[in-house]
Each structure stands twice: as structure tokens, then as C-alpha cells.
């Protein structure tokens, strides 16, 4: 899949501003998984879910530090896919890049359907499928125009999410210390957390990690988006350094307040979600409409980011000859329009399949993404291990380094391997692991076969977008 000569821009435009990159790095770790999905983790694990979130947060922090080391040294729109190609081999970059694209093009219809369901509740006269397709068309149009539009949408989406979480934390603290006007005496009765801290045993903590892992996936988007901003090295370094504070504030703090106010076995927790149930306990008027509005913004943000991320990944794959050459074409504004359209069409197909065959084909497809986040993190760690050793042999001084190398890198590789092994033997997760393994095997076969059939290159391809 060679890259043909193209007229017009040869590189992505640096259209993202510093404030947009800053908020994109926040938006990447705040999705509907926090507002709704955290209820599953709390019910499964009990108050010990805090341990699950802390352990997952540490794992993501270390992965982001490793990715930051490679991205600061060599910013690239292909991010970890490009680094895997250089450090491990073309088959690795091909496989992890296509897996990542597959993950996001299936998440796009999931988020569109979730947003459509909320809007359908507000306006029941309009069918849910119509809302889903309208949302997809609208966000696709913003991504096609220029990258600044994507950045501006994500900036305001992220602002709403951050303000919502800060307001939620302030409300919970006010109720716990006795200054909440919607409760008698202004005080909420805290739950006896430590008397039932680990009701389902230590194994549930690991199972909770598997649920929370999905919520954190997306933090790496900033290393992809940084390729379309001026001075990407500084932006990546800053975003990576701030990950720990954002995880602590947005996840650990908010989840700690939820388990302090809502019993883990509350029957409404799984029905309405953790944030809504907490606000109901606080007797906030209109709790449902408030949470629905925030979740609507969260899923629209995730869909917007998913479309952007999928298009940039397949664009980078095309530039490296790992996807059809037409997908690397750029519009006069420096937007990979064919990559955006291709990713959107797959998203549309997912929506269509879901509405025509509800609960059948689309559920099967979605199950193939179950372990992709862990595989991506594993490849980031392996790539960093090999690229760091190569840099040390060459005497290259890296401007941004992973802590305690190589011990923490090996620790991450070991933990991810153990989690994948646990999923493979667990009856609850074995199906997802097998589905992901099947897709991965197919992509690996494509990678190996293509390399064997491809004739030796006669010239150099266009360099990756930076």
C-alpha cells in the first residue's frame, strides 16, 4: 500500500491551540464510564473499588509516562503505532494501529446510540435512530471542516465535564459536613464503609480493575492530537505530568465520595448510575435531568474524540503504507478527509446493524474490543523498553524519561500480562478475550502476509505526519 504523490498540503495543519490541547488531555480520561459505568465497578467490588481505581490509575500513569518518553522524543500523529513499528517491527505497528482504529470506530456508534437514547427520552416523538444519525452527521461535519473545530468542541465539552465533577464533589462535601440545603439539618448520613470494605473478597478488586480500565482508556489521545499543534513536545510533557492530578481529582475523589454516601448494594445504583443515585441520596431536585445532560455531553465528547482519533490513526497507517493510500489525502485545510469519511461510514454501519439487528451482530462486534486497551498498553510498554535501550546504546540523551527504568516498565508488562491471563481463565471475561484474540490474529496474519507479498521498496515513502 504505497503512498502516492498528492497535490495540496503534505502535512496535517498545526491548528490546535494550547488551551485546546490542555482540555483534550482532560477530556480523554473523563467519559460516560465515570458517570454511569462506575456503578458496575462499585456494585461488583464494594467500597474496595477505591483500590481498583487507584491501581488502575497508577497503571495508566506509568503507561502515559512511557508513552510520553517516546512522544516527547519524537512527536508523531501515529503515536504508539509508529513507535511500535520502529522499536518492535512493522508487524507490531500495523497490528496495534489497526486494533486501535477498530476499537474507536466501534465506540463511535456506541456513544451515538447512548446520546440518542437520552434525546429520545426528552423528545419521544423523534425515533432514537434518527437522533443517532443526526449526531453522527453533525460531529463528522465538524471533523471534516478543520482540526480547530474538533479542538473547540472538545474544549467546551471538557469544560462542562470538569465543572460537573467539581460541582458534584462540592455538593457531596457540603452534605457530609452539614451545609447541604436539600437535606434535613443540611447533613447526609455517611455509609459505614469500613465495616463492609471488601464484601466480595480480594478477587473482586482485580475484577473491578477490568471494569475501570475501560474508563481510563483515552488518556493517550493527547499524544495523537499533539501532532497538530505547535511545540508538541512541551504539550505532551505537560499533559503527561498532569495525569496523576487529574486521575486523583476526577476519579479517586469522586468515587470515594460516592461510596461514602451510597451503599454498594443499593438496588438503584445499577439502575440509574452512581452519580445520579448519589444526587438522589442528596435529595437534589431534578437529579436525573442534571446527570442526563452531563452524560449527553460526555458521550458526545467521546464520540467526537473517537472519530478524530480513528481518522488520525488510519491516516498515519496510510502514510506508512499500512492502509490504502487514498486515506492519507489531505484537504486544503490539512484535514485527512478520506480517513474521516471512512471512519464515519464504519460508525454508520455499526449504528445501522444495531438498529436492524438489536442485540445480535453489533453486540458480537463490540465484544471483540474487550481486551484492546490492555493490548495497546502492553505494546506501549514493550516499545518503550526496546526504544529506551536502543537510545542508551546510541548514547542519546532523552529529554523526558520513564521513572526507575527498566524496573517499572517490566512491572507494567508483568501486571498487564497477569490481567490478560486472569481474563482468559475467568468465565466472565473469557469470551471477550477470545474475541479480541481472534481479531488480533486476523490482523497479524494480514500484517505478515502483506509484508511477504509486498515487493521491495524502490524509494522512500512520505514521512509520517508530525
How is residue 100 annotated by DSSP?
H
pTM above 0.75, yes or no: yes
In a domain, 456, yes or no: no
In a domain, 1, yes or no: no
Instruction: Give me the domain span that covers residue 217.
Output: 18-392+400-451
pLDDT value of residue 454: 63
Distances (CA, A) of 2 to 100, 219, 271, 322, 463: 21, 31, 51, 8, 12
Question: What confidence tens digit (pLDDT) does each residue in 352-395 have?
Answer: 888 887 766 667 777 778 789 999 999 999 999 999 999 999 99
Pick from 66, 95, 118: which is nearest to 389 by CA? 66
Mean pLDDT for 132-142 is 89
In a domain, 5, yes or no: no
In a domain, 465, yes or no: no
The answer, yes or no, to whether residue 410 has pLDDT greater than 70, is yes
Q: Do 310 and 149 contact (CB within 8 A), yes or no?
A: no
**CA-to-CA distance for 205 and 373, rounded, in angstroms?**
19
What phi and psi values does residue 201 have, to the nearest 5 degrees? 85, 170
Question: What confidence tens digit (pLDDT) does each residue in 16-31 have?
Answer: 877 777 777 776 677 7
In a domain, 365, yes or no: yes
Grid look-up 438503584 returns: 268
In a domain, 435, yes or no: yes
The answer, yes or no, to whether residue 459 has pLDDT greater than 70, is no
In a domain, 2, yes or no: no
Number of domains in the chain: 1
Mean pLDDT for 196-217 is 83
For position 274, which CATH number holds?
Answer: 1.20.1740.10
Mean pLDDT for 299-320 is 90
The answer, yes or no, to whether residue 111 has pLDDT greater than 60, is yes
pLDDT value of residue 450: 75
Q: Is 229 exposed, middle or buried (0-12, 13-18, 19+ CB in 10 A)?
A: buried
Question: What confidence tens digit (pLDDT) does each residue in 46-85 have?
Answer: 999 999 989 988 998 899 999 999 999 988 888 999 999 9
In a domain, 387, yes or no: yes
What phi and psi values does residue 439 have, to the nearest 5 degrees? -65, -45
Upstream peptide bond of 406 is cis (omega within 30 degrees of 0): yes
Amino acid at each position: 500500500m504505497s503512498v502516492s504523490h498528492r497535490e495540496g498540503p503534505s502535512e496535517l495543519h498545526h491548528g490546535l491551540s494550547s488551551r485546546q490541547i490542555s482540555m483534550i488531555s482532560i477530556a480523554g480520561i473523563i467519559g460516560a464510564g465515570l458517570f454511569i459505568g462506575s456503578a458496575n465497578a462499585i456494585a461488583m467490588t464494594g467500597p474496595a473499588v477505591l483500590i481498583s481505581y487507584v491501581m488502575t490509575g497508577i497503571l495508566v500513569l506509568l503507561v502515559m509516562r512511557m508513552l510520553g518518553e517516546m512522544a516527547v522524543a519524537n512527536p508523531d500523529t501515529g503515536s504508539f503505532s509508529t513507535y511500535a513499528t520502529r522499536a518492535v517491527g512493522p508487524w507490531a505497528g500495523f497490528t496495534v494501529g489497526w486494533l486501535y482504529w477498530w476499537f474507536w470506530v466501534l465506540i463511535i456508534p456506541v456513544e451515538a446510540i447512548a446520546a440518542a437514547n437520552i434525546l429520545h427520552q426528552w423528545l419521544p416523538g423523534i425515533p432514537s435512530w434518527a437522533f443517532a444519525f443526526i449526531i453522527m452527521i453533525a460531529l463528522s461535519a465538524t471533523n471534516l471542516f478543520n482540526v480547530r473545530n474538533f479542538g473547540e468542541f472538545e474544549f467546551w465539552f471538557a469544560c462542562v465535564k470538569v465543572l460537573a465533577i467539581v460541582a458534584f464533589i462540592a455538593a457531596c462535601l457540603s452534605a457530609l459536613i452539614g451545609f447541604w440545603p436539600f437535606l434535613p439539618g443540611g447533613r447526609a448520613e455517611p455509609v459505614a464503609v469500613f465495616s463492609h470494605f471488601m464484601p466480595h473478597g480480594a478477587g473482586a478488586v482485580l475484577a473491578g480493575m477490568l471494569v475501570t480500565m475501560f474508563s481510563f482508556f483515552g488518556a493517550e489521545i493527547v499524544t495523537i492530537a499533539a501532532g497538530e499543534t505547535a511545540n508538541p513536545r512541551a504539550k505532551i510533557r505537560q499533559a503527561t505530568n498532569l495525569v496523576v492530578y487529574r486521575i486523583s481529582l476526577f476519579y479517586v475523589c469522586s468515587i470515594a465520595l460516592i461510596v461514602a454516601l451510597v451503599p454498594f448494594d443499593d438496588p438503584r445504583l445499577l439502575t440509574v448510575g452512581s452519580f445520579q443515585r448519589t444526587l438522589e441520596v442528596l435529595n437534589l431536585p431534578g437529579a436525573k435531568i442534571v446527570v442526563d445532560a452531563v452524560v449527553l455531553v460526555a458521550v458526545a465528547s467521546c464520540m467526537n474524540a473517537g472519530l478524530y482519533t480513528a481518522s488520525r490513526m488510519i491516516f498515519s497507517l496510510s502514510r506508512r503504507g499500512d492502509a490504502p493510500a487514498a486515506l492519507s489525502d489531505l484537504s486544503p485545510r490539512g484535514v485527512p478527509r478520506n480517513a474521516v469519511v471512512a471512519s464515519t461510514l464504519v460508525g454508520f454501519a455499526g449504528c445501522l446493524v444495531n438498529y436492524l439487528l438489536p442485540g445480535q451482530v453489533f453486540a458480537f462486534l463490540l465484544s471483540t474490543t474487550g481486551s484492546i486497551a490492555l493490548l495497546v498498553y502492553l505494546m506501549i510498554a514493550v516499545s518503550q523498553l526496546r526504544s529506551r535501550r536502543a537510545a542508551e546504546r546510541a548514547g542519546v540523551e532523552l529529554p523526558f524519561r520513564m521513572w526507575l527504568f527498566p524496573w517499572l516498565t517490566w512491572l507494567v508488562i508483568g501486571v498487564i500480562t497477569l490481567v490478560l491471563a486472569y481474563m482468559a481463565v475467568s468465565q466472565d471475561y473469557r469470551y471477550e478475550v477470545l474475541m479480541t484474540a481472534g481479531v488480533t490474529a486476523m490482523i497479524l496474519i494480514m500484517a505478515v502476509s502483506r509484508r511477504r507479498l509486498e515487493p521491495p521498496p524502490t524509494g522512500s515513502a512520505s514521512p509520517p505526519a508530525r
